[in-house]
Amino acid sequence: MSSFRVGVCIPVGPNRQGNLLRVLGDLERQTYKPEVVVLVYDGFAPYEIGYQKLDVHTVEIPKHVPGNEQPRNVGVRALERFAPRVNYVWLLDTDIVFRPECLAAYAEAYELAPEPRIMIGPYDWLPKNGGGYPDLRNDQRWDSFDEHGPEEVFQLGRDGRDLRGMVGFGLACFSGNLVWPIEEFRQVGGFHPEMHHGRCEDGELGLRAVSQGIAVSMVRKARGWHLWHQVNEEWVLETNKVDVPIINRLHPWVENEGLVMTAKDGIRFDFRCEKCGARKNTGEYWIHYASCKGEEDAGSPIDSSLGF
């Protein structure tokens, strides 16, 4: 697996020193080691992180509007400077928890289908009051690699067919635990500079990728867990009112593929269920889809207890 050379890019925000140290500890314990780690500090001086066994570099950028699109773009460019041989970037956030075998699972998936493609690790929320890692929900997004196999997943992205039907795959691009081939990241253009409101930048990037025919694989074993935090739904609503019209302008085809581009429902977007026609928010859509038998369903309100 020596041809799978991975660098890590982590955008670092204020009041996250403890989280960053935890992520660095998780990275040090990986059974498959990344070659380099780049920490991008957004508008403030770097934290004291002590001695690190991994090759860790820091980059500072001026403070800009909220969101992580600029730090991630800067971090990928820095990876190419610090470690030119690296061919994949593992995008991580400081509020993600992952086990020692996470990067090894990505490496195993790469070994099975080594052509460049995006690889996404599933995630769920850690319990509000702590405790161990929960089992993943019955989320069919993560069956793609196991069900179809790496060759078919790869062909879906490379045989010239119209990939716009993979809209759900594109929107699954959660940049807290996401592996991108660097050359394809450059090809797509990185995170869009207008998508800086902290809600939709990774999904928009995924939409751009699938529309250009880049394959997407879900790697079930590359699990991560998001630290629980309370959702500020009013803030999400306001940011979606800015971001959703941008996505509509950039990707006017998505609504015909089952996505309902609306800001009024708060957290992220709605999907239209292809089995029953119900509209479900992304926080609950995949749970609904796994059990839906095709009966008409008016839908249930958003579960406001979900962290996001």
Model confidence band, residue 134 (pLDDT cutoffs 50, 70, 90): low
Model pLDDT for residues 87-116, shown as the tens digit of each residue: 999 999 999 999 999 999 999 989 887 788
Helix (H, G, I), strand (E, B) or coil at 239: helix
Q: Which is more confidently placed, 180 or 157?
A: 180
Q: Give 85's DSSP letter.
A: T
Look at 19-23, 82-86, 168-172, 178-182 and tell me which has the smallest mean pLDDT: 168-172
Average pLDDT (159-181) is: 73
Q: Is the pLDDT of residue 155 over 80?
A: no
Q: Are strands 216-218 and 88-92 parallel, antiparallel or unpaired?
A: unpaired
Contacts of 161 (CB under 8 A, 6+ apart): none
Q: Which amino acid is at 234?
A: E
Look at 70-84, 256-270, 275-289 and tell me which has the smallest mean pLDDT: 256-270
Chain-wide mean pLDDT for the chain?
Answer: 79
Average pLDDT (108-133) is: 79
Model pLDDT for residues 193-237, shown as the tens digit of each residue: 887 666 678 888 988 888 887 888 878 788 888 888 777 777 777
Cβ density class 116-149: b for 16+ within 10 Å, e for less: bbbbbbbbebbeeeeeeeeeeeebebbebbeeee
Q: Is the pLDDT of residue 65 over 70?
A: no
Q: Which two tokens stand for residue 126?
A: 């850690």
- The closest alpha carbon to 122, from 277, 259, 5, 286, belongs to 286
Q: What are the boundaries of each domain within the chain?
A: 6-226, 233-291
Q: Is the pLDDT of residue 145 over 60?
A: no
Q: Is the pLDDT of residue 47 over 70?
A: yes
Q: Is the pLDDT of residue 307 over 50?
A: no
pLDDT of residue 73: 93
Q: Are strands 96-98 and 259-260 parallel, antiparallel or unpaired?
A: unpaired
Could you tell me the fold of the domain covering 6-226? Spore Coat Polysaccharide Biosynthesis Protein SpsA; Chain A (3.90.550)
Look at 93-107, 165-179, 286-300 and tell me which has the smallest mean pLDDT: 286-300
